[in-house]
Amino acid sequence: MRNTIPLSFLDLAPVPTGKTIAEGIAQTVEIAKQAEKMGLNRYWMAEHHNMAGIASAATSVLLSHIGSQTENIRIGSGGIMLPNHAPLVVAEQFGTLQALYGDRIDLGVGRAPGTDGATFQALRRQMSDAERFPQDVQELLYLLGDNTDSSAVQAFPGAKSKVPVWMLGSSLFGATLAGHLGLPYVFASHFSPQMLSSAITTYRDHFRPSAHLDKPYVMLAANLLLAEDDETAAYHFTSAQQSFVNLRRDVRGQMPKPVADMDAIWSSSEKAMVDSALSVSFIGAVATVKPKLADFIAQYEPDELIVTANIYDQAARLQSLELVPQLNLFTLQSDSVPA
């Protein structure tokens, strides 16, 4: 393991309770600028639909806005849910982003629809579309590559852009496919950590060097919220905990305000569910978080960490990013890591 690793940020463009979507997007831009200022490597956004508290449904559109407001930080998707889209359309969108913002663009793709069944139908897709995921990924790689000159269908923009494609996953399926295709792999341990260890092992064992990557590259996702003291961080993190409870209850709404007592909100079974889903979370003061995070990095040896703080309070999110350098665990403002 290296002494330090790159750190990136995953954002869902939260829309806090009482805020408009426009206000939520403005806060998202502020977070992206803060991530860049603190020297983080990447700023990624996730595709979700039919969720009032998330403004990143039109992911490529919002990424273009983020690109216009930042200068150096890599921007990308974490991820585009490929079953929702034709590979050609994705290639065109991210080829356009590359044409606008140069070699700052990443394209993370996932197999899940990122929404419920009714919304999936509204997207004019079928659940069986996910079965084509391996073929769709390969088609996407082809459309972004150098060899489409003789093809009847080409991506303009997109062809020859070689936008880096990342495989996202929370199971052995994505790990195996990423290994076979020689792509960098991101594991969604920030909300589905159950298969973390086995997925990393599977990916590394199945990895085949490719034109995209000569050796395995693993990025792990985690929840990270730093504050001046543990109590303040835990208080703000109740927004994320409530969001998971609401998701289980099928209660829709904007990002909830933090609360002083989660026990007044969740049942014992809901608490167990949330604790399990969010077990890869590092919440507290720098002195509290640093040894736990260092142990996590030492145990799993990721090449990069991507963190998220999907909470209500904007000031708390900004302060958390401001405190990151005090961890002394990450390579900040580095251009030496693979694209």
Grouped pLDDT means (10 residues each) for the chain, 339 residues: 88 96 97 97 93 93 98 96 94 98 97 68 67 94 96 96 96 96 98 96 98 97 98 98 94 96 97 97 98 98 98 98 97 60
Which DSSP string do the residues of 255-272 spell out, in sequence order?
A: BPPP-S-GGGT--HHHHH
The enclosing H or E element of 108 equals strand 105-110
Q: What is the pLDDT of residue 113?
A: 63
pTM of the model: 0.94
Task: Give the three-state DSSP class for 51.
Answer: coil
Q: What is the phi-psi region of residue 250: left when phi exceeds 0, alpha when psi lies from -120 to 50, beta otherwise?
A: left
Task: Give the three-state DSSP class for 64.
Answer: helix
Q: What are the residues facing 80 on neighbouring strands?
A: 109
Peptide linkage before 157 cis (omega within 30 of 0): yes
Chain centroid to Cα 335, Å, comes to 20
Q: Structural domain boundaries of the chain?
A: 5-229+279-331
Q: What is the pLDDT of residue 205?
A: 98
* Phi, psi (degrees; rounded to nearest 5) at 149: -55, -35
The structure tokens listed for 176 are 């195996």
Burial 280-310 (b: 16+ CB within 10 A, else e): bbbbbbbebbbeebeebbeebebbbbbbbbb
Q: What is the pLDDT of residues 94-122, one digit of tens each?
A: 999 999 999 999 999 999 765 566 766 77
Chain centroid to Cα 210, Å, comes to 24
Q: What is the pLDDT of residue 121?
A: 73
Name residues whose C-beta falls within 8 Å of residue 324's C-beta, 6 or more positions apart in sequence: 7, 38, 40, 224, 226, 330, 332
Q: What is the pLDDT of residue 338?
A: 47
CATH of domain 5-229+279-331: 3.20.20.30
Q: What is the pLDDT of residues 261-310, one digit of tens each?
A: 999 999 999 999 999 999 999 999 999 999 999 999 999 999 999 999 99
Q: What is the pLDDT of residue 122?
A: 77
Which DSSP string do the residues of 286-300 spell out, in sequence order?
A: HHHHHHHHHHHHHHH
Please report the sign of the dihedral spanned by the C-alpha atoms of residue 98, residue 222, residue 214, residue 87: negative
Q: What is the pLDDT of residue 115?
A: 59
How many of the other CB atoms lie within 10 Å of CB of 278? Answer: 18
User: Quick one: the chain helix, strand, coil %, rounded to 5?
Assistant: 45, 15, 40
Residues counted in the chain: 339
